[in-house]
């Protein structure tokens, strides 16, 4: 299927209190910040949301909170992928019941299934839901790469909406785009490559840097949509130091620090992730300022 996701989507961080609990009030404030600055879609419990360190109960509560706070003003996509197919299916069923508009399913991590195993994984998830399903390819984290020929096969599944590409390999991205064009859509899942992936036919970005900079990321997408590549390049040039800062340590460590600097109660990431190191904090503050954002803390 095509046409499900367009524009700017933010891979939302999950704010935690110092005692470790989820800060739902801060999460609501971040949703308002995103919507006020033009974000089209909120992605909850993707990698940036730290679901690997959250309990099943916390994840369900966060989904419920997102549905209530968003109140239909933007699309909601919930991350349900796992290294256990049945667990991914169960999470997908729950997400649909709670009000998701779509599903983001990362490839099975650690188990490192075959390419045929990837097809069967997405086939099982899609069979469990009527919602659009987005494949998430991030081999640097999972150890599994959705090859272009495999994505071409997966794209034949009726409710596959597209692929969030974060392989970092533009040659692969272009091959995948060629194979799935007209069958499902291509989304950028890697902020440094947002501009070239959009120019290659990507219909949306699923962005980390849009946590602190939603207005700027939306402007980048809009410029490409309008065919104004000079403006798109100018926006990308201004934004690139912040993109680099958001990945100076493992995501979402820098993004959470950046949100705290903007005055949001983002909290620290959960262990084994650690707070942003001092030298990188200086880099983040400078990058936020360069992007036109007001540093408050």
Q: Which domains does the chain have, with CATH numbers?
A: 7-226 (3.20.20.70)
pLDDT at 275: 96
pLDDT tens digits, residue range 71-124? 999 999 999 999 999 999 999 999 999 999 999 999 999 998 999 999 999 999
pLDDT tens digits, residue range 252-277? 999 999 999 999 999 999 999 999 99
Q: What is the mean pLDDT of residues 44-72?
A: 97
pLDDT band at 130, cuts 50/70/90?
very high
- Percentage with pLDDT > 70 across the chain: 100
Active-site residue set: 136, 164
| pTM of structure | 0.95
pLDDT at 124: 98
pLDDT at 20: 84
Q: What is the mean pLDDT of residues 149-168?
A: 98
Q: Are 111 and 78 in contact (CB under 8 A)?
A: no
- The tally of CA atoms less than 13 A away on the side-chain side of residue 21 is 6
Residue 132, pLDDT > 90, answer yes
The pair of structure tokens assigned to 293 is 């954002």
Mean pLDDT, the chain, integer: 97
pLDDT band at 297, cuts 50/70/90?
confident
Q: Are 262 and 216 in contact (CB under 8 A)?
A: no
Q: What is the mean pLDDT of residues 119-138?
A: 98
The pair of structure tokens assigned to 142 is 């999972």
The pair of structure tokens assigned to 205 is 């970005």
- In the beta sheet, which residues pair with residue 41? 9, 75
Instruction: Look at residue 15 and give its three-state secondary structure.
Output: coil
ω before 252 within 30° of 0 (cis)?
A: yes
Q: Are 100 and 132 in contact (CB under 8 A)?
A: no
Neighbour count for residue 227 (Cβ, 10 Å): 8
């Amino acid at each position: 299927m095509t046409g499900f996701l367009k524009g700017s989507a933010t891979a939302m961080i999950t704010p935690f209190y110092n005692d470790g609990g989820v800060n739902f009030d801060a999460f609501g404030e971040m949703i308002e910040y995103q919507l006020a600055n033009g974000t089209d879609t909120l992605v909850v419990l993707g990698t940036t949301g730290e679901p690997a360190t959250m309990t099943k109960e916390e994840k369900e509560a966060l989904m419920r909170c997102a549905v209530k706070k968003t109140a239909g003003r933007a699309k909601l996509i919930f991350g349900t992928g796992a290294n256990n197919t049945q667990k991914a299916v169960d999470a997908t069923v729950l997400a649909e019941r709670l009000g998701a508009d779509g599903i983001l399913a990362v490839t099975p991590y650690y188990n490192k299934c075959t390419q045929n195993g990837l097809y069967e994984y997405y086939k099982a998830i899609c069979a469990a839901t009527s919602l659009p399903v987005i494949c998430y390819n991030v081999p640097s984290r999972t150890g599994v790469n959705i090859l272009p020929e495999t994505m071409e096969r997966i794209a034949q599944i009726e409710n596959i909406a597209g692929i969030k590409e974060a392989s970092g390999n533009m040659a692969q991205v272009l091959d995948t785009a060629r194979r799935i064009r007209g069958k499902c859509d291509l989304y950028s899942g890697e902020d440094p490559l947002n501009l070239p992936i959009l120019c290659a036919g990507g219909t949306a970005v699923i962005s980390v840097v849009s946590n602190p900079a939603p207005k700027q990321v939306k402007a980048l997408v809009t410029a490409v949509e309008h065919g104004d590549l000079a403006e798109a390049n100018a926006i990308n040039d201004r934004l690139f130091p912040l993109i680099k800062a958001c990945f100076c340590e493992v995501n979402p460590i820098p993004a959470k620090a950046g949100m705290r600097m903007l005055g949001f109660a983002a909290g620290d990431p959960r262990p084994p992730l650690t707070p942003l190191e001092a030298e990188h904090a200086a880099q983040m503050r400078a990058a936020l300022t360069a992007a036109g954002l007001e540093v408050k803390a």
